[in-house]
């Protein structure tokens, strides 16, 4: 009977997302005993008072559609009582390609996939515009997918023995998502459509995840880029501040070296270290001691930009944006 159950519903993903939403999104909302104070999310994205269940402590209103994090003003006439002034979020995930057709990516076994209030997708599947009326893509769900660290398919960390072991014990935090490259049969807009059956669990166990199937398998963004810089480099951000919070007790900077290799291969951009070596090896004053724990890098873009993803993204924007 499990073949007729949704593959996403009998995994650990739902429990994981519930805890994340309660811990981070629920904690930023106004509480009943603070009703006379201006408490809540600093972005003003949701000013309603939290009404949690007295037994579980959950409130379904803690989560919100990802589209509500679009920058907007109060006079836009979108029906919202409070505008959004916060930063533009780009939530990274890994599109697992263990069984993909691209032989050059067999060492990576994944591609960069992102969620944003405007678009979702990857270079392998293409990008889809999220209309304001589509509330199936939520911030909490995107957070859970981006933090799905333990899954049968984990990008370059995938191994045959782990795939079988984790699937048999149902240690599955990943998420099966309707492929953005596939046209919709019963709807004109792309959304978080569930598979509706459990047969895809065999693809997890046997490593048959690719970019051509009707559903793609997403996991932790660190399974492709653990620093979250890849999509910022793709967008040619002028200044990027990176906080390396990965487990690196021996200070080998593996995440940084992997990132340098990926952007050199994919975008033709080289990264040069401009950190003063005297500061790294000597701490004459407290300011230098702080600088010892930071690196300054410079990205050198080639004269001919080989990355056309952004131009394609704008083309999709013009084609998909409603008149």
pLDDT digits (tens, 9 = 90+) for 77-91: 444 455 677 788 999
pLDDT of residue 41: 45
pLDDT of residue 188: 54
| Spatial CB neighbours of 295, under 8 Å, sequence gap ≥ 6 | 256, 273, 275
Which range among 155-159, 293-297, 311-315 has the greatest average pLDDT?
155-159
Does the structure show a pLDDT above 60 at 278? no
Is residue 8 within 8 Å of 195, Cβ to Cβ?
A: yes
112/262 Cα distance (integer angstroms): 11
Q: What is the rounded average pLDDT of the residues 93-113?
A: 86
Predicted TM-score (pTM) of this structure: 0.80
pLDDT of residue 136: 75
The tokens for 45 are 């994205």
| Spatial CB neighbours of 74, under 8 Å, sequence gap ≥ 6 | 80, 82, 83
pLDDT (tens digit, 9 = 90+) per residue, 186-226?
A: 455 666 777 877 889 999 999 889 988 889 999 999 999 99
Is residue 116 within 8 Å of 88, Cβ to Cβ?
A: yes
Q: What is the rounded average pLDDT of the residues 121-146?
A: 85
Is residue 84 within 8 Å of 47, Cβ to Cβ?
A: no
pLDDT (tens digit, 9 = 90+) per residue, 29-58?
A: 777 655 444 544 444 444 577 777 778 778
Place 292 in a pLDDT band, splitting at 50, 70 and 90.
low
Query: Which of 294, 297, 264 lies closest to 280 in space, CA to CA?
Result: 294
183/180 Cα distance (integer angstroms): 8
Distances 314 to 17, 78, 306, 318 between C-alpha atoms, Å: 31, 23, 16, 6
192/194 Cα distance (integer angstroms): 6
């Amino acid at each position: 009977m499990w073949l007729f159950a949704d593959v996403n519903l009998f995994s650990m993903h739902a429990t994981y997302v519930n805890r994340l939403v309660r811990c981070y999104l629920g904690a930023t909302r106004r509480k009943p005993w603070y009703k006379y104070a201006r408490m809540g999310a600093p972005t003003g994205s949701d000013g309603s008072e939290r009404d949690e269940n007295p037994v579980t402590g959950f409130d379904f209103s803690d989560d919100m559609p990802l589209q509500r994090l679009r920058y907007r003003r109060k006079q836009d006439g979108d029906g919202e009582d409070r505008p959004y002034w916060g930063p533009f979020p780009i939530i990274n995930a890994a599109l697992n390609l263990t069984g993909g057709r691209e032989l050059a990516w067999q060492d990576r076994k994944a591609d960069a996939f992102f969620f944003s209030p405007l678009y979702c997708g990857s270079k392998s599947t293409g990008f889809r515009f999220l209309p304001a009326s589509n509330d199936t893509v939520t911030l909490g769900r995107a957070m859970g997918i981006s933090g799905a660290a333990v899954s049968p398919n984990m990008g370059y960390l995938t191994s045959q023995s782990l795939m079988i072991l984790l699937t048999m014990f149902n240690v599955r935090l990943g998420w099966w998502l309707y492929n953005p490259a596939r046209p919709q049969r019963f709807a004109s807009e792309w959304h978080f459509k569930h598979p509706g059956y459990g047969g895809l669990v065999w693809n997890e166990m046997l490593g048959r995840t690719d970019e051509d199937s009707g559903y793609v398998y997403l996991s932790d963004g660190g399974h492709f880029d653990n620093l979250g810089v890849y999509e910022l480099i793709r967008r040619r951000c002028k200044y990027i501040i990176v906080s390396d919070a990965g487990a690196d007790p021996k200070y080998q900077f593996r995440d940084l070296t992997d990132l340098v290799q990926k952007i050199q291969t994919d975008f033709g951009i080289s990264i040069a270290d401009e950190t003063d070596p005297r500061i790294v090896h000597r701490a004459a004053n407290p300011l230098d001691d702080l600088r010892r724990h930071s690196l300054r890098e410079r990205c050198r873009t080639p004269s001919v930009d080989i990355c056309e993803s952004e131009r394609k993204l704008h083309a999709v924007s013009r084609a998909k944006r409603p008149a």
